[in-house]
Structure 1
Amino acid sequence: MKLDLRSAYKFIGIKEGDEWKTAFSTSTGHYDYLVQPYGLAMALSIFQAYINEVLREFLGRSVVAYIDDIWIYSPSRNQHVRDVWAMLQTLLENHLYCKAEKCEFHHKEVDFLGYAIQQGSVSMQPGKVEAVKMWPRPLTRKALQHFLSFANFYRRFITDQLRGPVQRFKWTQEVNKALEELKNAFATTPILQQPDPERPFVMEVDASDMGVGAVLWQHPGERGGLRPIAYFSRKLSSAERNYGVGDRELLAMKLAFEE
């Protein structure tokens, strides 16, 4: 289930005496905000701290909250009804209200923060995959950076990385091939399984002259072989490239655990 709060920021008041800091003028007069408006530098972090406090007893147990988006998950339908009721009651007690038209109740699959989440697995939203497939060839450095920033958000789904950095923006056949390989990797990305803390994990690492990578696997039990939980890769610095193969693989393990 997914909830979307209505006008959430307006529940955070401006500290008395600081209203003048939000002042603005229009043709009808001069105004100060009494509640937190959108656009303030600290608005996101302040509201996140507030919603974390309101939902403290649910976080990590049945709720994930990011700003004004709330995802409620449960192991069974009956438990889900109880979790949803308790959540809505808590929101009501704190005068927080939802946008009914944006809420999704009793769904087995929801789109949340750019991911398609199903029972036991997570994947890229189909719309995001299609956007990558149709992405035009970047004609400027900024356009390329925009694509790579988008791709970086979903890097946990990709098993491989580009062969090396582009020091100068010069489009070549090799660069074009690398871009197409990356786009194809997104189009064929596997579905990642949700981790089960009761089952053992398997970490597989590898290292090359240019970078390191790792895959976190888990056995689903009687349903088959190892399933991917997450992928990780990173380019090596000039100093790290001097490491021996064993040290580079140890570095891959260290970085993967930190990730």
Structure 2
Amino acid sequence: LERVFQRVMDQALKAVQAAACYIDDVVIFSKSEEEHAEHLEATLDAIADAGLTCHLEKCKIARRTVAYLGFEVQCGMGIQEAKVAVLVKLGAPKDKGALRALLGFLNYYRRFIPNFSKRAYRLNQLLRGKKWEPEEEQARRDLLEAIKAGTVLQLPKKDAPHGLEQQ
């Protein structure tokens, strides 16, 4: 059912370049308030033309920061603080299921963790039968610190010089 609804939403919003959706979560990107009003009207018209409706009490309009799919989106993209708080409260995993959940969570946010694969290596080895030792606990804490660092990803500035650095 979700796939069908996603297809309906994708079809409804295909002409609206400033809107993106995941199932029933629609985000409208704009550079100014005037532009946002135009984008909002176009999006609402497209939704109405598709025979769909919006619950206005659930809508958040003209926000500078939006929580979307576990991310905090503004001029850049970061991890929602509530998600980080949940991770910190979890503590060390007690079994393979909890370890898989932890690794899945961390993997979802891997783009915010420099050298993620290298840092998560010891925890991944636990899935293959390795025993939990102080090094694994240190790896878990290192990953948590990287998540808590609050890295924000941004698009590169068009006019700024770009280059690659070798590590």
Q: TM-score range with shorter-chain normalisation?
A: 0.7 to 0.9
Report SS of the residue matched to 1:138: coil
> Take 2:98 and 2:29, find their aligned partners in 1: how far apart are those partners?
38
1:73 and 2:29 are equivalent in the alignment: yes
> Take 1:92 and 1:75, find their aligned partners in 2: how far apart are those partners?
24
CA shift for structure 1 position 187: 0.7
> Take 2:57 and 2:23, find their aligned partners in 1: how far apart are those partners?
18
1:115 corresponds, among 71, 74, 77, to 71
1:143 and 2:104 are equivalent in the alignment: no
Any idea what the Cα deviations from partners look like across 1:33-89, whole Å, max 9, x if unmatched?
xxxxxxxxxx2322222211111111xx31111111100011111011011011111
Task: Output the amino acid matched with 1:85.
Answer: E
What's 1:88 paired with? Answer: 44
* Maintained 8 Å contact 1:133/1:183: yes
1:100-111 equivalence runs, <5 A: 100-111=56-67
> Take 2:110 and 2:101, find their aligned partners in 1: how far apart are those partners?
14
> Take 1:45 and 1:203, find their aligned partners in 2: how far apart are those partners?
39
What's 1:184 paired with? Answer: 145
Any idea what the Cα deviations from partners look like across 1:110-157, whole Å, max 9, x if unmatched?
101111011x21110111111122222111011101111011100000
Consecutive unaligned residues of structure 2, counting only runs of 5 or more, are: none
Report SS of the residue matched to 2:90: coil
For the aligned residue pairs, the C-alpha RMSD in angstroms reads 1.9
Change (3 A) 1:131 1:203: farther
What's 2:4 paired with? Answer: 46
In our comparison, the structure showing a higher alpha carbon Rg is 1
Consecutive unaligned residues of structure 1, counting only runs of 5 or more, are: 1-42, 207-259
Identity of aligned residues (%): 29
> Take 1:201 and 1:55, find their aligned partners in 2: how far apart are those partners?
34
Determine which structure has greater relative contact order: mean sequence separation of CA pairs < 8 Å that are 6+ residues apart, divided by chain length.
2
TM-score (norm 1): 0.58
What's 2:18 paired with? Answer: 62
> Take 2:2 and 2:162, find their aligned partners in 1: how far apart are those partners?
35
> Take 2:19 and 2:164, find their aligned partners in 1: how far apart are those partners?
28
Report SS of the residue matched to 1:116: strand
Deviates more, 1:85-94 or 1:172-181: 85-94
Task: Output the amino acid matched with 1:170.
Answer: K
* Maintained 8 Å contact 1:158/1:189: no
CA shift for structure 1 position 201: 4.3
Task: Output the amino acid matched with 1:143.
Answer: A
TM-score (norm 2): 0.87
1:1-259 equivalence runs, <5 A: 43-58=1-16, 61-118=17-74, 120-161=75-116, 162=119, 163-164=121-122, 165-166=124-125, 167-196=128-157, 201-204=162-165, 206=167
* Maintained 8 Å contact 1:48/1:66: yes
> Take 1:197 and 1:48, find their aligned partners in 2: how far apart are those partners?
33
Task: Output the amino acid matched with 2:85.
Answer: E
> Take 1:74 and 1:131, find their aligned partners in 2: how far apart are those partners?
31
Higher share of residues assigned helix: 2
Report SS of the residue matched to 1:88: helix
* Maintained 8 Å contact 1:72/1:84: yes
Report SS of the residue matched to 2:14: coil
Report SS of the residue matched to 1:133: helix
